[in-house]
Amino acid sequence: MILKKIFIIAGFVLLLGCGGQSTDEPLADVNPFFVAYDTPFNVPPFDRIDETDFVPAFEEGMEHQNAEISAIVENPEAPTFDNTIAALDRSGELLGEVSRVFFALSGSNTNEEIQAIQQEISPRLAAHRDEIELNPELFARVKAVYDEREALGLNPEQLFLLEHLYTRAVRNGALLDEEDQTRLREINQRLSGLRVEFGRNLLAETNGYKLVIEDEADLSGLPAGVIETAAGTAQREGIENAWVFTTHKPSMLPFLTYAENRDLREQLLTAYTVRGNQNNEYDNKAVIAEIINLRVEKARLLGYETFAHYTLEPRMAGTPDKVRELLDQLWEASLPVAKREVTQMQAIIDSEGGGFKLAPWDWWFYAEKLRKATYDLDDNDLRPYFEINNVRDGVFYVANQLYGLTFEELEDMPKPHPDAQVFEVFEADGSHAAVIYMDYHPRESKRGGAWCGRFRSQNRADGAEVDPVINLVCNFTTATEDTPALLSLDEARTLFHEFGHALDGMLSNVTYRTTVRSPDFGELPSQIMEQWAVAPEVLKVYARHYETGEPIPDELIAKIENSSFFNQGFSQVEVLAASLLDMEYHALTAPTELDVNVFEKTYFDEIGLIPEIVSRYRTTYFSHITGGYAAGYYGYTWSGVLDHDAFAAFEETSLFDQETANRFRTEILEVSGSKDYMDMWIAFRGREPEIGPLLRNLGLL
Task: Concatenate the DSSP letters of all residues of 233-248 into one string.
Answer: HHHHTT--S-EEE-SS
Three-class SS of 104-136? HHHHHCCCHHHHHHHHHHHHHHHHHHHHHHCCH
Q: C-alpha angle 191/197/201, rounded to 5°? A: 145
Alpha helices in 548-634 (DSSP H): 554-562, 568-585, 596-607
Element (H, E) at 208: helix 178-208
Give 164-169's long-range contacts (Cβ < 8 A, gap of 24+): 164/514, 164/516, 165/85, 165/88, 165/89, 165/514, 166/142, 167/314, 168/133, 169/133, 169/139, 169/142
Question: How many CA within 13 A on the CB side of residue 69?
Answer: 21
Whole-angstrom distance, CA of residue 234 vs CA of residue 228? 10
H/E stretch holding 250 reads helix 249-258
d(CA 493, CA 379): 14
Identify any residues that bridge with 556 across adjacent strands, giving them in sequence order: none
> What is the end-to-end Cα distance of the chain in Å, rounded?
51
For 240, half-sphere exposure in the C-beta direction (CA atoms, 13 angstrom radius) is 0
Cβ neighbors of 313 (< 8 A, separation 6 or more) are: 171, 304, 319
**pLDDT at residue 28, rounded to an integer:** 55
Largest CA distance in the chain: 85
**Helix (H) or strand (E) run with residue 160 in it:** helix 156-171
**Separation of alpha carbons 342 and 285, rounded Å:** 31
State the Cα–Cα distance between residues 287 and 299, nearest whole angstrom: 19
In sequence order, what E strands does 163-236 have? Answer: 211-213
Nearest to 17 by CA among 83, 66, 64: 64
Catalytic residue among 133, 205, 387, 498: 498
How far apart (Å, rounded) are the C-alpha atoms in residues 187 and 123?
A: 10
Torsion sign (Cα): 376, 380, 385, 389: positive
Query: How big is the CA angle at 46 (ends 43 and 49), to the nearest 5 degrees?
Result: 125
Q: Give the C-alpha separation, 647 to 221, whole Å.
A: 39
Cα distance between residue 258 and residue 254, in whole Å: 6
3 state DSSP class of 8: strand
- Any catalytic annotation for residue 498? yes
CB contact burial 180-212 (16+ within 10 A = b; e otherwise): ebeebbebbbebbbbbbbbbbbbbbbbbebbbe
Nearest to 252 by CA among 236, 279, 235, 229: 229
**Residue whose C-alpha is closest to residue 542's, from 378, 380, 388, 420:** 388
* 143 in Cβ contact with 170 (< 8 Å): no
Whole-structure pTM value: 0.92
For residues 60 and 23, is the Cβ–Cβ distance under 8 A?
no
**DSSP calls for 39-59:** SGGG---GGG--GGGHHHHHH
Distance CA 213, CA 244 (A): 6
Q: How many whole angstroms separate alpha carbon 46 and alpha carbon 197? A: 26
Q: What values do phi and psi take at 450, rounded to 5? A: -140, 145
**Residues 6 or more apart whose Cβ sits within 8 Å of residue 145:** 79, 80, 81, 84, 85, 152, 162
Taking each helix axis from N to C terminus, what angle separates 524-533 and 388-403, rounded to the nearest 10 degrees? 110
| Degrees, nearest 5: CA angle 257-258-260 | 120
Nearest Cα neighbor of 473 from 449, 443, 497 is: 449
Check if the beta carbon of residue 505 is closer than 8 Å to that of residue 457: yes
What is the reported pLDDT for 17? 40
Average pLDDT across each block of 10 residues of the chain; the chain has 701 residues. List them in order.
Answer: 32 39 55 95 96 97 98 98 98 97 96 96 96 97 98 97 98 97 98 97 96 98 95 94 96 97 98 98 98 98 98 96 97 97 98 98 97 92 97 98 98 95 98 98 94 96 93 96 95 98 98 93 97 98 98 97 94 98 98 97 98 98 95 97 97 97 98 96 97 92 74
- Between CA 71 and CA 581 the distance in angstroms is 45
d(CA 405, CA 150): 40
Neighbours of 669 (CB within 10 A): 23
- Burial (CB count <10 Å: 0-12, 13-18, 19+), residue 267: middle
Q: Can you say how many angstroms the Cα of residue 395 is from the centroid of all Cα atoms in its chain?
A: 18
